[in-house]
Amino acid sequence: MALQSNDLQTAERYALVLVDLSLGFTDPELSPLASDCPQVVEANRQLLEAFRRRGWPVFFTTVAYDSPDQARVFREKLPSLNVLEAGSRLVEIDPRLAPREGEPVLVKHWASAFFGTDLKAQLDAAGVDGVMVTGLTTSGCVRATAVDALQHDLRVLVPEEAVGDRNQEAHKANLFDLQLKYVDVRPLERCLALLA
């Protein structure tokens, strides 16, 4: 990222929110929504390990539909979402990042991890004042989740190597815009250092 300030107002306690790191988004052989992103998966594996070691909360999200009227307009705009049927393999979290017992997997129907879920209540119960938002895709659900987290008055940190997009131009443009207006985008190494 070309646009960064050295100043970083950090949270006292972060939660890790892994957005849509399901097979539907990480395995291009299985899904039209997926991108080949082993580096994003690896960055998230490192963050997961650091959060677990620190004992800070971890939340996963997945998109899944079990009714044709769920997110109807969103699915009309992006019909490939229809492959994300509840109970299918595509909505399972990538096994390289398998959730542990006690790590919630929130099912969502729209872009933001906050919309239509109890994520904010769970973050409040966990006593966090900040979130690290990671996952797929930068221009869609990651962006929506990061902006909503800010709108819930949380400090938001996006580790840049831990997010990805099928479109690299959209990825870069959205990271630039998020950093400029809404959240802090920092290298993975800097984010991991906060967890040491």
Any idea how long the chain is? 196
**Active-site annotation holder among 91, 141, 157, 162:** 141
Give the C-alpha separation, 37 to 166, whole Å.
Answer: 9
In this structure, are residues 178 and 133 in contact, taking their beta carbons and an 8 Å threshold? no
pLDDT confidence of residue 7: 76
What are the structural domains of the chain?
A: 14-194 (3.40.50.850)
Residue 141 among the catalytic residues: yes
Closest-CA residue to 132 (of 196, 58, 189, 64): 58
**pLDDT tens sequence for the chain (196 residues):** 444 555 789 999 999 999 999 999 999 999 999 999 999 999 999 999 999 999 999 999 999 999 999 999 999 999 999 999 999 999 999 999 999 999 999 999 999 999 999 999 999 999 999 999 999 999 999 999 999 999 999 999 999 999 999 999 999 999 999 999 999 999 999 999 999 8
Three-state secondary-structure class, residue 135: strand
